[in-house]
């Protein structure tokens, strides 16, 4: 309620004047300034639970309340009359908003809200038709408040087996969105503490990343002054909230309980204990030192990334370009190196901007996330295949698509260096080089400025070998002189390009199965026809238009088809996984194995990750490593990140990583911290880690 400190007096007055009358029993009911309805499956199953909810749709400006209504008000509630064997949990409350009016502050919901709850059916419940009666009570307020209630009922069928069913697609979306929005218990990686001040509290919420905003909602009344502004102070590892005490508070609480909503819509239930908070905000020197260390790791990781199999095709292209430029002026060679570097750095800036933007919107993404999209895989395969056709000599891109003069050709040369840098970043993202994992994980957990700094260092590291070669003219003297042999080298460069296309076709098979492969191969056939047209009638406008039309139809049709295809079923079912020793990862499976005192090895992998595939064949599948796994009774869990999986992304974030490959070994000691292995494995590295496990 707004305008009164105590809601009970006003509620009583309004009730005497004639509040909202009880409604006839139904699934939904219209009332003053709102509509209320129950959302639940029409079929319940013995021995199972089902999600349900109460849906309020409110007139503009009116609101209902959170579990702590703020300065006045009451939250909705349900009184049930249920058949034997059926029970219902209490309502769960999504994160509210602050609703100010004058000197007071309410916590509640406007426009629309769903309060989820669970229905439980006992194993011995009677099957057949059943009626669930619900008396829903609420208080709806604007400048005035109106108490209301409605008698609603659910007509259910209780089945002996099967799955709960009966929700429409719209209801399922509405209910699942409400469940997903519920505040989560603060994970172990989130640390909270509060410190009392003469006028209030300083509440520290440390998530491991700089938080740009935060709002605190107390669980109980009378702890903080609800209407007072809450000042959020971003710090290196989280945020500090400055709160004002309630004037009626006589003793500080033992814990500061409630809900904290952070940037990106994340919300956690917390119970902060007293602790030192003042030092949290005074860590700039440590933060700068850590940032410098991570930038150094990122730079070295970027240099090593040049040796990863993902980047080999691009290195072939740059090697060929450098041979071509051996006879050019030194200043010209330097400019090509700088433009190539600019293409890499700008591409990393675009990538980190996308990641930060999606993170702010509440998405959980990591390094190489774009390869989880079959459309992206198809487009990359098409691009590289078309480029390979040109290198193999089927057509000349510059001659066929433009007939401009020398000055334009010169500019095209710089654009070629720039977009080769772009291509280097695109094909590098499936790989995580040594030293990169920790740096990228740190970057994506920090402020935007720190993220850009680390990704810039990564880009400079990737560009450094070629850039240094172009900046040191004396080194170019060892390069061979241009000649007829260069055409042969150019055609040979197409080989690793086509090898990369084969890998991308294999990735498509993992995500969209044989049908996806057929669609992609048909697309490549059309691209080959387009390239033949360009080569058969070079530099002719009509041929270029026909080739472009074929290309657009091929790429557009491919993108549409692969997006419409369902995800491929894993080749190995659970029985096959058991036979090979590996089980599908889930947080529950990991927790269960560790609770049983068993050592656990988790392989975070993806089909599109070339480094992952190399590590599996070189290290994890070797007889010596497999024998050591068996001797140590290690539970082997494979977290397949080929398609996007929020649970895997969050598990990686807890390890300080944002991409694959990532390998972690947990000892059998309950509660022990995991050992994160390097991104590049050898049998010796894995065996050394296994030797640290206690004998069983």
Could you give the number of structural domains in the chain?
Answer: 4
Q: What is the pLDDT of residue 543?
A: 80
pLDDT digits (tens, 9 = 90+) for 636-685: 999 988 777 778 877 887 776 777 888 999 886 555 667 888 887 889 88
What gap in Å lies between CA 2 and CA 209, rounded to an integer? 37
Would residue 279 count as lying in a domain? no
Helix (H, G, I), strand (E, B) or coil at 228: coil
Percent of the chain exceeding pLDDT 70 equals: 76
Residue 97's pLDDT band (cuts 50, 70, 90):
very high
Q: With a cut of 90, say whether residue 539 has pLDDT above it.
A: no
19-77 pLDDT, tens digit each:
343 333 457 899 999 999 999 998 999 999 999 999 999 999 999 999 999 988 899 99
pLDDT value, residue 575: 38
**Mean pLDDT confidence for 630-635:** 90
Residues 580 and 553 in one domain: no
Is 60 a domain residue?
Answer: yes
DSSP 8-state assignment for residue 264:
G
DSSP state letters, 464-521:
HHHHHHHH-GGGGGGSPPP-THHHHHHHHHHHHHHHHHHHHHHHHHHHHHHHHHHHHH
What is the pLDDT confidence band of residue 265, given thresholds at 50, 70 and 90?
confident
Q: Could you tell me how many helices (H) and strands (E) the chain has, helices first?
A: 18, 25
Strand 662-666 versus strand 145-159 pairing type: unpaired
pLDDT at 16 over 80: no
The answer, yes or no, to whether residue 481 has pLDDT greater than 80, is: no
DSSP class of residue 161? Answer: S
Query: What is the per-residue pLDDT for 115?
Result: 96
pLDDT value for 669: 58
Instruction: Tell whether 245 is covered by a domain.
Output: yes
Domain CATH for 75: 2.60.40.10
Whether 299 and 244 map to the same domain: the answer is no
On the question of pLDDT at 693 being above 50, the answer is yes
Q: Decide which of 210, 242, 274 is a domain's last residue.
A: 274
Instruction: Answer yes or no: do 171 and 206 share one domain.
Output: no
pLDDT of residue 326 exceeding 60, the answer is no
Place 340 in a pLDDT band, splitting at 50, 70 and 90: confident
Which CATH number covers residue 606?
A: 3.40.30.10
List CB contacts of 3: < 8 A, sequence separation 6 or more. Answer: 101, 102, 104, 143
Q: Is the pLDDT of residue 145 over 70?
A: yes
696 falls within a domain = no
Mean pLDDT of 492-509: 80
Q: How confident is the model at residue 519 (pLDDT cuts 50, 70, 90)?
A: confident
Q: Tens digit of pLDDT for each residue in 449-476?
A: 777 888 888 889 888 888 887 777 566 5
Whether 569 is covered by a domain: the verdict is no
DSSP H or E segment with residue 120: strand 112-121
Is residue 391 scored above 50 in pLDDT?
yes
Confidence of residue 594 (pLDDT cuts 50, 70, 90): confident
Peptide bond preceding 624: is omega within 30 degrees of 0, i.e. cis? no
Q: What is the pLDDT of residue 163?
A: 78
| pLDDT given for residue 571 in this prediction | 45
Q: Residue 225 is encoded by which pair of tokens?
A: 């002054």
pLDDT tens, position by position, 597-611:
889 999 998 877 777
Task: Tell me how far apart the alpha carbons of residues 121 and 9 are, in angstroms, rounded to a whole number.
Answer: 40
Asked if residue 371 and residue 222 are part of one domain, the reply reads no
Q: Are strands 86-88 and 63-70 parallel, antiparallel or unpaired?
A: unpaired
Residue 395 has pLDDT above 90, yes or no: no
Please tell me which residue, 323 or 616, carries the higher pLDDT value.
616
Same domain as 254, residue 223: yes
Summarize pLDDT for 431-448 with one digit per residue, the tens: 555 555 555 655 655 667
280 lies in a domain? no
Give domain status of residue 306, yes or no. Answer: yes
Q: Is 305 found in the same domain as 175?
A: no
Q: Are residues 131 and 199 located together in one domain of the fold?
A: no
* Residue pLDDT, tens place only, 25-34: 457 899 999 9
The 3-state secondary structure of 330-346 reads HHHHHHHHHHHHHHHHH
Rounded CA separation 343/410 (Å): 17
Which whole number is the average pLDDT over 412-424? 73
- pLDDT exceeds 80 at position 367: no
Residue 116: the pLDDT is 95
The larger pLDDT score, comparing residue 479 to residue 502, is at: 502
pLDDT on residue 158? 92
In angstroms, the CA 537 to CA 550 distance is: 15
Residue 375: which domain range?
Answer: 285-564
**Mean pLDDT of the residues in the chain:** 78
**Each residue's pLDDT tens digit, 206-238:** 887 778 789 999 998 889 999 999 988 887 778
Query: 195 and 178 in one domain?
Result: no
Q: What is the mean pLDDT of residues 323-345?
A: 76
Is the pLDDT confidence value at 408 over 60? no
At which of 274, 308, 339 does a domain end?
274
Look at residues 149, 182, 215 and tell me which one is the last residue of a structural domain.
Answer: 182
% the chain with pLDDT above 90: 24
- Model pLDDT for residues 294-307, shown as the tens digit of each residue: 788 788 878 877 76
Residues 663 and 602 sit within 8 Å (Cβ to Cβ): yes
Give the pLDDT score at 556.
85
pTM above 0.85, yes or no: no
Q: Which has more confidence, 312 or 179?
A: 179
Return the sign of the alpha-carbon dihedral for residues 363, 367, 370, 371.
Answer: negative
Q: Are residues 324 and 263 in the same domain?
A: no
429 and 555 in a single domain? The answer is yes
Please tell me whether residues 239 and 294 are part of one structural domain: no
What local confidence, expressed as pLDDT, does residue 1 receive?
Answer: 40
Residue 263 placed within a domain? yes
Same domain, residue pair 617 and 552: no
d(CA 581, CA 635): 8
Of 271-280, 428-437, 482-491, the range with the highest mean pLDDT is 271-280
Question: pLDDT tens digit string along 546-585?
Answer: 888 888 888 888 888 877 776 655 444 333 444 457 899 9
Q: Which residue has the higher pLDDT, 15 or 311?
A: 311
């Amino acid at each position: 309620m707004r305008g009164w400190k105590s809601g009970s007096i006003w509620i009583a007055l309004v009730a005497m004047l004639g509040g909202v009358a009880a409604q006839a029993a139904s699934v939904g009911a219209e009332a003053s300034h709102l509509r209320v309805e129950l959302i639940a499956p029409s079929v319940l199953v013995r021995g199972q639970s089902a999600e349900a909810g109460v849906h309020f749709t409110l007139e503009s400006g009116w609101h209902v309340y959170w579990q702590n209504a703020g300065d006045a008000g009451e939250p909705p509630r349900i009184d049930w009359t249920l058949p034997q064997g059926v029970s219902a949990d209490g309502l769960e409350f999504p994160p509210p908003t602050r609703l100010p009016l004058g000197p007071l502050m309410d916590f509640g919901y406007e426009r629309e809200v769903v309060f989820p709850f669970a229905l439980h059916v006992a194993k011995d419940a009677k099957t057949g038709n059943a009626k669930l009666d619900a008396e829903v009570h609420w208080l709806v307020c604007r400048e005035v408040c109106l108490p209301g209630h409605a008698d609603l009922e659910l007509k259910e069928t209780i089945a002996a087996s099967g799955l709960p069913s009966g929700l429409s697609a719209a209801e399922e979306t509405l209910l699942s969105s409400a469940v997903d929005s519920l505040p989560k218990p603060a994970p172990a990686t989130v640390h909270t503490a509060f410190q009392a001040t003469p006028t209030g509290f300083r509440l520290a919420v440390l998530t491991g990343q700089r938080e740009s905003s935060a709002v605190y909602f107390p669980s109980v009344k009378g702890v903080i002054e609800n209407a007072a502004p809450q000042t959020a102070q971003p710090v290196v590892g989280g945020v500090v909230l400055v709160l004002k005490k309630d004037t009626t508070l006589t003793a500080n609480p033992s814990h500061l309980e409630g809900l904290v909503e952070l940037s990106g819509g994340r919300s956690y239930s917390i119970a902060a204990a007293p602790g030192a908070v003042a030092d949290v905000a005074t860590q700039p020197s440590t933060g700068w030192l850590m940032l410098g260390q991570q930038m150094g790791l990122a730079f070295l990781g970027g240099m090593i990334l040049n040796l990863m199999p993902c980047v080999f095709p691009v290195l072939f292209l740059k090697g060929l370009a450098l041979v071509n430029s051996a006879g050019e002026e030194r200043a010209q060679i330097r400019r090509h190196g700088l433009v190539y570097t600019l293409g890499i750095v700008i591409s990393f800036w675009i990538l980190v901007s996308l990641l930060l933007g999606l993170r702010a919107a509440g998405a959980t993404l990591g390094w190489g996330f774009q390869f989880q999209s079959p459309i992206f895989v198809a487009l990359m395969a098409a691009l590289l295949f078309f480029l390979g056709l040109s290198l193999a000599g089927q057509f000349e891109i510059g001659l066929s698509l433009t007939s401009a003069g020398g000055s334009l050709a010169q500019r095209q040369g710089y654009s070629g260096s720039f977009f080769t840098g772009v291509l280097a970043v695109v094909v590098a993202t499936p790989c995580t080089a040594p030293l990169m994992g920790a740096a990228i994980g740190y970057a994506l957990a920090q402020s935007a400025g720190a993220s850009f700094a680390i990704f810039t260092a990564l880009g400079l590291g990737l560009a450094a070998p070629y850039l240094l070669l172009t900046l040191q003219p004396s080194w170019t003297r060892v390069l061979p002189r241009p000649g007829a042999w260069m055409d042969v080298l150019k055609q040979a460069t197409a080989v690793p390009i086509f090898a990369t296309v084969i890998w991308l076709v294999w990735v498509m098979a993992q995500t969209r199965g044989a049908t996806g492969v057929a669609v992609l191969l048909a697309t490549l056939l059309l691209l080959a026809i387009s390239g033949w047209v360009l080569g058969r009638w070079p530099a002719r406008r009509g041929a270029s238009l026909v080739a472009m039309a074929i290309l657009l139809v091929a790429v557009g049709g491919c993108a549409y088809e692969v997006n419409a295809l369902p995800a491929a079923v894993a080749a190995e079912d659970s029985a096959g996984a058991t036979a090979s020793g590996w089980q599908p990862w889930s947080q529950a499976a990991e927790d269960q194995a560790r609770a049983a005192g068993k050592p656990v090895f988790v392989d975070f992998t993806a089909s599109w990750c070339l480094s992952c595939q190399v590590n599996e064949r070189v290290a994890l599948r070797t007889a010596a490593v497999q024998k050591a796994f068996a001797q140590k009774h290690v539970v082997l869990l494979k977290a397949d990140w080929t398609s996007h999986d929020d649970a895997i992304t969050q598990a990686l974030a807890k390890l300080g990583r944002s991409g694959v490959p990532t390998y972690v070994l947990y000892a059998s000691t309950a509660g022990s911290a995991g050992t994160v292995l390097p991104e590049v494995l050898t049998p010796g590295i894995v065996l050394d880690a296994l030797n640290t496990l206690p004998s069983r």
